[in-house]
Structure 1
Amino acid sequence: MIHSKKMMIIAIAMSVLLGGCAMETKEEAAQRLQTKPGAGGESVNTEQSSAGKLTSVQFYVPSEKTNSLSVIDVVSSKVVGKIPLAEAPSTVIFSSTMREAYAANMNSSTVSFINTQTLKVTKEVPVGPMPHGMVLSPDNKMLYVAAVADQFIYLVDTKEGKEAGTIDLGAGAKTNYLVLFGDKLYVSDHENHKVYVVNVKTKQLQQTIPTGKVPRAIKVSDDGKKLYVPSAGDNTLEIYDTADGKQFSKISVAPGATDVVVTEDGLTAIVTSMEGNAVSFVDLPSGKVIKSLTGLSGARHISFNRQQSKAYVTLSGSDEVVVIDTVKQEVVEHIKVGAQPHGIQLKALPGIGGSC
């Protein structure tokens, strides 16, 4: 009997932990975060340290013009923390434990190592000119960094906190966005209109896939069989077979296709278009846009919440993050952040923040 009671208590405790912010209302979140209005209409936490709780479900958003990173609480949709960074931060990624984050600073040609509990930069690591896209190895030991202004992928040893070599893609190559699947590193080249496929074990170029004009934030399907390429110059979302590089389909979207997310069932893609100030919902089986959300100034990067019920998009033209209800396919919230927000990434431990 005593054993059964103990097991019941443990089960209840685990359900509360794993339910995370799903069990918390906006009012409760606001009280927990002790928010108050800040400059420029932002909500700033009076005790920033509370924003560093490991179990907090948040989005990190780097802003190029303010050289800072905004921490957004998912439940309250409030900016609860700010992290000063080097010049023109573009993208940010997390380690699998969510204890560390890494931000690429384009104008400083560095990568910032960030402690997500203290919300402080612990190290600045020099890399190539204008670092942009980044991806981290599954064991968290190696960071791959694309430098927009040259032909190399820079390797950063996260334990030693220093550059650990480069991967040369050849004279004239340009590196932009990265995605890693198994041993294959996919690299978009926005100037030469192609995607490079590199074996990270041998550091050798395996394949080159010609794409539409100005490929940007590429993605790979969960099974690794499809490569999704938003091509800004052709205003298209292109889908390729990763086995042989052949094109499956080419779908017209709003001008300046920038980034893409794909639902777990593989049926719907959501594409941002920076120059077109729009977000397109694409039905992948039919290859058609089923709805476009317009008037979204400089719609740049996009990230799902854990349940894919909401998509968060940075608007570099209006200094906001918009929240899109993916079921209703409409904008439901605007969150003011730093000037010219660029990338966006979710911080949530496995099992935490299920329905946020």
Structure 2
Amino acid sequence: MIGKQRVLGAVLALAAAGAAAVEGDVYVALQADGAVAHLGEKVDRWQAGAHMTYVTVSPDGATVLATSTEENRVYAYDADSGEPTGRLEVGESPKGVKIGPRNRWAVVANEGADSVSIIDVEAMEVYKSVEVGLKPHNTVFAPNGRTAYVTLQGGDAIAVLDMTAMQKLREIPLKDQPHNIDISPDGQKLYVTSIGRQQLVVVDAISGREQARIPIGTPHYGVDVTPDGRFAFVSGVGGTTISAIDLRQGRTVGRVEVGPGPHGLRTDTEGKRLFVAVTGSGEVVVVDTERLTVTRRIRVGEGPFWVAVPGNS
């Protein structure tokens, strides 16, 4: 999938916003525009709230949720039509949001409230608030949906949530400000970006033991693990590149120049294309994950921050 270590420039600036379909749906939180962009047959923009940060789409592709950090709200949409389906009050400064694999529950990390809000997606209401620890930033579900993990950036730990009992089970200690998080397809390993040490930390999800720390360069970071669990892609909003990490080798094997301020990034469900939100240029950049080349640039609006793809949000 990925060859020898190399740095490859962004060579193809092909598409203006709305020029053509992207062969699949992609959703983007636009931080500066107060909107959510939908990349499908064209680029649509859905009105949202101030300072939109994170976005997620349900695995069945039906529902989109996005967080307004300034308004302390989650905005909900029908994923096909873009029609609003809810506007929910959550905790202070909501950041990462994920919908679980069974499409029923979502977890929102309320960074300013030291809590998560659990959303009943079917009823489109906040079901429960759970205190988790200092400065929760982002969350990810285990593949079976029974467990969720929340990075505690202020508490140097990962909170483990029982999604059946809807309560916090325990903490996994993790030094150096754990930030964003993803999980292996089998649910055995967590991949956590550390902004304190500029590393990707590999954690055994069952035992909670650290297994590796891989240097990753300029923070802050988004992270996405490919569907086959072989590679991770990591962004650095303080720079201009994304890194490709071979998880078997435990090292960076390539970098791609995408533009100023890359942050959110997600592959398609086949792992062949990577969609990168480039905050400084207002684009989603599409990367061929095999060749590590830029194949397309799509203008979406001001401050694209996070990306969600059905089946990989």
TM-superposed CA distance for 1:154, in Å, is: 0.7
In the other structure, the counterpart of 2:138 is: 177
- Which of residues 59, 63, 72 in structure 1 aligns to 2:30? 63
Looking at structure 1, the residues matched to 62 and 167 of structure 2 have their Cα atoms a distance apart, in angstroms, of 31
What is the CA RMSD across the aligned residues, in angstroms? 2.3
Looking at structure 1, the residues matched to 163 and 190 of structure 2 have their Cα atoms a distance apart, in angstroms, of 18
Q: 1:200/1:285 Cα in 2 relative to 1: closer, same or farther (>3 Å)? A: same
Residues 100-249 of structure 1: pairs in structure 2 closer than 5 A: 100-170=63-133, 173-181=134-142, 182=144, 183-249=146-212
Q: 1:278/1:233 Cα in 2 relative to 1: closer, same or farther (>3 Å)? A: farther
In the other structure, the counterpart of 1:19 is: none
Looking at structure 2, the residues matched to 115 and 260 of structure 1 have their Cα atoms a distance apart, in angstroms, of 26
The 3-state SS of whatever aligns with 1:153 is strand
TM-superposed CA distance for 1:81, in Å, is: 1.2
The 3-state SS of whatever aligns with 1:60 is strand
Asked which structure has the greater CA Rg, the reply is 1
Deviation per CA, 1:8-52: give whole Å up to 9, x if none. xxxxxxxxxxxxxxxxxxxxxxxxxxxxx9xxx63379xxxxx9x
TM-superposed CA distance for 1:303, in Å, is: 0.7
- Which of residues 221, 228, 252 in structure 2 aligns to 1:258? 221
State whether structure 2 residue 56 is matched by structure 1 residue 93.
yes
Q: 1:117/1:224 Cα in 2 relative to 1: closer, same or farther (>3 Å)? A: closer
TM-score normalized by the length of structure 1? 0.77
Looking at structure 1, the residues matched to 69 and 239 of structure 2 have their Cα atoms a distance apart, in angstroms, of 24
Q: 1:161/1:64 Cα in 2 relative to 1: closer, same or farther (>3 Å)? A: same
Query: Structure 1: 5+ residue runs without aligned partners?
Result: 1-36, 46-50, 350-356
Which residue identity is paired with 1:63?
L
TM-score normalized by the length of structure 2? 0.87
Residues 6-21 of structure 1: pairs in structure 2 closer than 5 A: none
State whether structure 2 residue 306 is matched by structure 1 residue 306.
no
TM-superposed CA distance for 1:328, in Å, is: 0.8
Which residue identity is paired with 1:143?
A
Looking at structure 2, the residues matched to 128 and 254 of structure 1 have their Cα atoms a distance apart, in angstroms, of 32
Higher relative contact order (CA 8 A, sep 6+): 2
Aligned length: 295
> Is the strand fraction higher in 1 or 2?
2
> Is the helix fraction higher in 1 or 2?
1
Q: 1:137/1:263 Cα in 2 relative to 1: closer, same or farther (>3 Å)? A: closer
- Which of residues 256, 259, 266 in structure 2 aligns to 1:293? 256
Task: Give me the identity figure in percent.
Answer: 23
